[in-house]
């Protein structure tokens, strides 16, 4: 199996591969690496240093192709850009059990995790891909999210002004995390029943938004290996006993396992609440349409084809914004065919129990967008703080816009910011938000120099 790590090359998409079934005697020659303890491998160093820091250290010390041991499983770490470009998609595939390297989910939480776009395959993956295209990939879809982003930025500006007037230091990384979670939360769930997602207003808002934000944070924290349950280490050391380890984690959970399960359960509960509101509103709209002879807005709302306010999305109601990612999952864009909506792909056992795929993709959306965005923004600020000239040029470009602030956030305005765009891209090249990724080899891969990674 292969993995990709771009830390040494200083840019591009970074990643790492796992060799899940390879035995030591078949590891590629000349792929040296740090000594691994029996059973534990390099897990002690990984836990002590952080996975990204350890892989960066290994690549710098042992070269662009090296071997590390994640428990009893060898990973071939590749940090050569050309090798990554040549082999990462041609000869490798997503690991079927990627989640086993990050958590020990059990019961329904495991079922939901296995329904995510990162894991699911076939027709279910294609339908899920359409949802992502509908909601965030198409330019018109991105434009539909700008009002939500502008609302979050307005609240963020208020935080900055408060710190400026008081002189109190600002923890930039933490506040950027709050901002990115607010943006991804509103875009993903589009929950319009609360005033804000922003953490500083939890005391005022409370309710479902506060619960969901707290659950998301706990979910992210417990994905860090240093915060993971002790059962994860057992799962990495003894992968052949994974079913038994999951059983123990389910029936005899430690504190970290309880925290992780509780957070995932809360995310699922809130997702169900929003979808049940949607189902109730849709049923009410259908009844109103039938009573009025099928004419008017009720008919459109009932079949999911009513015009949205932006981006051509269907209005779904129930506190869910028409342009949200959840709306795309539940109804798709205007005129979506039967079977192209995730609510059509997997029929729940009970009407009150929405499909796991919808819950899984909502969580994946936030997981993929929250920390990557906040990390990138933090790196941008870090680099600008060390380059006054770049800061001056960026500020001058933004100040030259006809209208600044959240109100000026439009597609046309973004097109007038080429230098700002270049700054963002350079920050992502130097400090990729995704520091590594996993791949399994589909065939023996010749990396050159006598190095062959086995299937």
Does one domain contain both 227 and 353? yes
Interior angle at CA 267, CA 18 and CA 351, nearest 5: 110
- Taking a C-beta distance cutoff of 8 angstroms, is the pair 18, 101 a contact? yes
- The answer to whether position 305 is within a domain reads yes
Same domain, 291 and 438: no
Task: List phi, psi (to 5°) of 3.
Answer: -150, 155
**Which residue from 142, 155, 163 is spatially nearest to 181, judged by alpha carbons?**
155
In this prediction, residues 318-344 reach a mean pLDDT of 58
| 449 has a pLDDT exceeding 90 | no
Confirm whether 397 is domain-assigned: no
Of 146, 219, 190, 183, nearest to 413 by C-alpha is 146
Q: Do 202 and 336 share a domain, yes or no? A: yes
pLDDT surpassing 50 at residue 70: yes
Q: What range does the domain containing 16 cover?
A: 3-104+434-453
pLDDT tens figures, 253-269: 999 999 999 999 998 88
Distance CA 342, CA 230 (A): 35
Contact between residue 269 and residue 359 where contact means Cβ atoms under 8 Å apart: no
Asked whether residue 438 falls in the same domain as residue 345, the answer is: no
- Which of 386, 412, 444 is at the close of a domain? 386
Pair 113, 41 in one domain? no
Mean pLDDT, range 195-224, rounded to an integer: 65
Lowest mean pLDDT across 99-108, 202-211, 298-307: 298-307
Burial pattern 314-345, b for ≥16 Cβ within 10 A else e, equals: bbbbbbbbbbbbbbbbbbbbbebeeebbbbbb
For residue 198, is it within any domain?
A: yes
Query: Do 266 and 211 share a structural domain?
Result: yes
406 in any annotated domain: no
Dump pLDDT digits (tens) for 295-307: 544 444 433 333 3
- CA count, 13 A, side-chain hemisphere, 51: 21
Strand 65-70 to strand 73-78: parallel, antiparallel, or no bridges (unpaired)? antiparallel
Instruction: Write the CA distances from 221 to 18, 77, 117, 173, 258, integer angstroms.
Output: 23, 25, 21, 15, 13
Query: What's the structural domain count of the chain?
Result: 2
Averaged over 233-252, what is the pLDDT?
A: 93
Residue 352 within any structural domain of the chain: yes
Give CA–CA dist 63/332, Å, rounded. 47
In a shared domain, residues 58 and 132: no
Question: Is 72 domain-assigned?
Answer: yes
On whether both 218 and 268 belong to a single domain, the answer is yes
- Residue of 424 and 350 predicted with greater confidence: 424
274 vs 377 pLDDT, higher one: 377
The larger pLDDT score, comparing residue 328 to residue 321, is at: 328
Instruction: Please indicate, yes or no, whether residues 118 and 213 belong to a single structural domain of this protein.
Output: yes
What pLDDT does residue 18 have?
39
289 and 303 Cβ atoms separated by less than 8 Å: no
Q: What percent of the chain has pLDDT above 70? A: 73
Please report where in the chains the tokens 């090359």 appear, as a residue. 9
Q: Do 188 and 313 belong to one domain?
A: yes
Are 259 and 364 part of one and the same domain? yes
Is the pLDDT at 209 greater than 80, yes or no?
no
Residues 66 and 48 in one domain: yes
pLDDT, greater one: 34 or 402: 34
pLDDT score for 313: 35
Residue 155 domain flag: no
Residue 248 is predicted with a pLDDT of 97
331: left (phi over 0), alpha (psi -120 to 50) or beta: alpha
The answer to whether 452 and 444 have CB atoms below 8 angstroms apart is yes
User: Which pTM does this prediction carry?
Assistant: 0.74
Angle at 244 between CA 240 and CA 249, to 5 degrees: 120
Last residue of a domain, one of 371, 386, 401: 386
pLDDT over threshold 70, residue 445: yes
Q: Is residue 102 within 8 Å of residue 223, measured between CB atoms?
A: yes
Q: How confident is the model at residue 441 (pLDDT cuts 50, 70, 90)?
A: confident
197 has pLDDT over 50: no
Residue 399 belongs to some domain of the structure? no
**What pLDDT score was predicted for residue 200?**
38
């Amino acid at each position: 199996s292969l993995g990709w790590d771009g830390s040494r090359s200083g840019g591009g998409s970074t990643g790492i591969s796992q060799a899940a079934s390879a035995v030591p005697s078949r590891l590629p020659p000349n792929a040296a690496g740090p000594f691994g303890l029996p059973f534990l491998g390099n897990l002690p160093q990984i836990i002590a240093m952080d996975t990204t820091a350890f892989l960066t250290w290994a690549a710098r010390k042992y070269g662009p192709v090296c071997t590390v041991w994640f428990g009893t499983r060898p990973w071939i770490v590749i940090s050569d850009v050309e090798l990554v470009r040549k082999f990462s998609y041609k000869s490798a595939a997503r690991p079927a059990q990627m989640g086993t390297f990050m958590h020990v989910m059990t019961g329904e939480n495991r079922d939901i995790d296995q329904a995510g776009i990162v894991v699911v395959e076939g027709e279910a993956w294609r339908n899920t891909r359409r949802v992502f295209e509908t909601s965030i990939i198409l330019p018109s879809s991105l434009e539909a999210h700008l009002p939500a982003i502008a609302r979050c930025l307005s609240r963020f500006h208020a935080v900055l002004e408060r710190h400026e007037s008081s002189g109190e230091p600002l923890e930039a990384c933490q506040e950027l995390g709050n901002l990115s979670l607010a943006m991804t939360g509103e875009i993903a769930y589009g929950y319009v029943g609360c005033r804000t997602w922003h953490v500083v207003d939890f005391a005022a808002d409370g309710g479902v938004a506060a619960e969901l934000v707290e659950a998301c944070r706990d979910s992210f924290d417990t994905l860090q290996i240093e915060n993971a349950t002790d059962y994860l280490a057992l799962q990495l050391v003894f992968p052949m006993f994974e079913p038994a380890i999951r059983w123990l984690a389910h029936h005899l959970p430690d504190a970290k396992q309880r925290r992780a399960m509780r957070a995932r359960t809360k995310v699922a509960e809130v997702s169900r609440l929003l979808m049940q509101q949607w189902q109730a509103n849709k049923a009410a709209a259908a009844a109103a349409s039938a009573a009025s002879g099928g004419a008017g807005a009720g008919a459109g709302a009932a079949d999911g084809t009513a015009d949205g306010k932006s981006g051509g999305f269907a209005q779904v109601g129930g506190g869910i914004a028409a342009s949200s990612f959840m709306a795309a999952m539940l109804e798709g864009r205007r005129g979506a065919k039967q079977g192209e909506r995730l609510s059509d792909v997997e029929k729940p056992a009970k009407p009150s129990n929405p499909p796991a795929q919808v819950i899984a993709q909502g969580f994946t959306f936030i997981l993929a967008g929250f920390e990557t965005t906040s990390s990138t923004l933090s790196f941008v600020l870090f680099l600008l703080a060390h380059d006054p000239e770049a800061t001056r040029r960026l500020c001058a470009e933004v100040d030259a816009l006809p209208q600044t602030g959240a109100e000026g956030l439009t597609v046309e305005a973004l097109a007038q910011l080429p230098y700002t765009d270049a700054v963002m891209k350079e920050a992502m090249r130097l400090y990729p938000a995704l520091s590594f990724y996993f791949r399994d080899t589909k065939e023996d891969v010749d990396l050159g120099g006598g190095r062959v990674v086995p299937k």
